Structure 1
Amino acid sequence: RDPDELLEEVLLHRAGGEPVAMLPRLQRFPVRLPTGEEGETRAATGFAAFACDYAAGAPVLQPRCEIKLRSGTTLTLRPPVQPADAATIRARALAAIPPQYLTAAMLEETLAPILAACQEELRESRPEPSVQRFGPVMARPKASVVIPLYRVYDFLRVQVAAFAGDPWFVEHAELIYVLDSPEHEAEVAHLLGGLHLAYGLPMQLVAMRRNGGFSAACNAGALQARGEALALVNSDVIPIGNGWLPTLIGKLDRQRRVGAVGPKLLYDDGSLQHAGLYFKRDSKGTWLNHHFFKGMPGSYGPANVERPVPGVTGACIVMPRALFDELGGFDESYVIGDYEDSDLCLKVRRAGFGIVYAPSVALYHLERQSISRSVDYTRGAASQHNAWLQTRRWDAQIEALMLAFATSVAEPALPEPAPSAPELVPRFTFRRATAA
């Protein structure tokens, strides 16, 4: 609060060298502060800033900040000891700016550099996961089903029962669960062991030694996979009937250059959750992910036509395991979970493959049952960062891709993310789809 404009500079001191002037770096946003009286607040200005050149070597756990006033008075502030671990720093960064006030400048100049550094450190320091096996290992599985788990296990019994009742799944698929909340390892291992005894279905539990997020968990599970086809499935996705997996695998076709396929996903009331994924800019120009026909009845005609789509959701995506490995799997730069599935779809297209939506396979998806339990996940901050990151990487390519779908011109094969326009290579003839 500086109604009389007394503030001259804010200096951040460091162990050596000149202090860092912070005032020009501040990103400001409105806040309400308590007055000390019950329930009453007053208007103030919140601020955040990033000093990329501040610390080198060992982290500074108790930085010293000097406030200089125009009168010549100086005030020295020392905060409590600050965290050194990347996960806590990331959580604090995500909570630093209210999501409704996040701008592109705040993301690019203040939040994104911190999150990128945290994600990189978490990747580099992540311990190897442990692996437990329940039942015999399948000699030559045709498919590997990788399912990340995080704190919500309500649907495991139903999901495993559905898999175990599917003859093709039992004979040809290996089941790999990846636990991303290691504090629950004993509980989940006991549950999976009991389900194996009840149904006789072999499975593996890959337990992360530290929470890494959706991308890291899926990638860790894929490293254990041995099937030719890889199915990445959420823990809250429940098959409606048998034979769903071979039907989806059958849509993959190297000659037709189909590199990934996704099914129709339904809410528990039978309405559509997913019938393919598309991109649309918001009012700020950021590309957001949307699902075709979301909320319409599952029987809605246009949602029951098999067709090429810009992408499919990571809640259930099937692709050749070799292609997933070649593309480097999910990009772990995306925070917590969001937009890494569309990023993977864009990499599939950049490799010259198309993506198909297959409504002949329908599954229930009880959406976002796990991610809401993440203490680091703030729908606004993390999701806005991920949308910004996707747009920064793929802006021109998404623009060309959506133009192709809107005008039924040739499907673009996306090059490496770059300012140059993508080369257009004819692969499919598009039928325009209306998004609801």
Structure 2
Amino acid sequence: MTETATRGGRLRRELSDPLFRNAYALMLNGGLTTVLGAGFWALGPAFYSPSDFGRNAAMNQAIMFVGGITMLNFLLIRFIPETARHTRALVLSAYGLGAAAAAVVGGGFLLALALWGDGWSTFRALSGWGPGLMFLAMAVGWNLWNAMEAVFTGLRHAGWVPVVNTAWCLLRIALLIPLAALAPHYGIVLAWYVPVVLVLIPVNVLVFRRLLPEHTRANQGRGPRSTHREIARYLGGGYLGGAFQFAAVSLVPIVVMTRLPPDTAAYFQIAWVPGMMLDLLALTLSYSLTVEGSFERGRLAGTTRAALRRTVTLMVPVTVLVIVAAPFALEVYGHEYATGAPLLQILALAVLPKAVIELYIGALRVQNRTGLIAVLQGVRLAGVLGLVAALLDPGHLATVGVAVVAVNLAVALAILPGLRRIIAPAARASTTDRGRDIS
């Protein structure tokens, strides 16, 4: 048998496993959105001044923060696998609660802007009823967008995620240039979120008319079901954990950019965005692990070990590639954007410890240990914010990366004993279970 045939057979075996099929679809999504996102952000400096670019980037982070911190993805990926007849109600409830929370939190954010001191200048374009309502609509749209991706993942149809995101990325690139002339103060933000609203409608028609009914038919009467009380109990700790996790991605840059002049904020953003896109690689196997662990709880140990080995295999070369390529890649943006290269290189070093933490959290979701999840994510957020506040130097943006790496490495080392306890039964797994652990 040739080496090519052997590799082809291995790939077919992996893609036949929902754990890897879902994860690879999400990784493909991360790769495509990273590449297309790089094109989007590369065009921005060519058509927007550094000051306008920095303000747009800050507003974008604020919208993502409000829409993301209120999303209920963790609930959907955990309980869609267990539902059949009530999946539609679960999805609609998550949509409704998430959208309402985004509107409330967004309103609070707008009211609190005056308390941001010198950082207010970065967000001054949000003053007034019109921009404020626009901000709230975009935050709600972003919340629903992320919930939609979780629905696809929970239904084992993550292959739709890169398709939908590619359409969105192409639409936002197409809008970016004309909006630079029509609305320079809002152009990047509008180009980002108008396509979100446009794409949400047809995609959810697909979800509710086709995918949810198929899931209901396939899973009617299968396996144990969580009660409404168990789901409600899961909601509290799960929400705090998810909110803390998202805040570590979106609140940190908001805090940083309120302490930077607009042009320096732009240089920071151009490095932070791809650094956080790397986090998608860390999250994909975690989400897929939660879904598959929820479908088959008895195989959690073997599934976790398989995900862990695949994570190490993938993350190490990605980290090396980003470290080598970062200085050259950021030169493309012109101006002084390449000054963010050291920050991006250091953020790449955080990917592997982040991935280990996320896999552990993915397994904890299946075990309904949401209190521990909230503690872990809260410690990460508080640690990063604390170190950023202590180390931030506008002349040396890489100090933000040092804070991210230090905190995530410390947490990863702390959770290793717990992770080992979860995967330990895999050593005694059956032959069938070991077949899942493909190296």
TM-score (norm 1): 0.27
TM-score (norm 2): 0.27
Q: Which has the larger radius of gyration?
A: 1
- Relative contact order (C-alpha < 8 Å, sep 6+): which is higher? 2
Structure showing the higher strand proportion among its residues: 1
Structure showing the higher helix proportion among its residues: 2
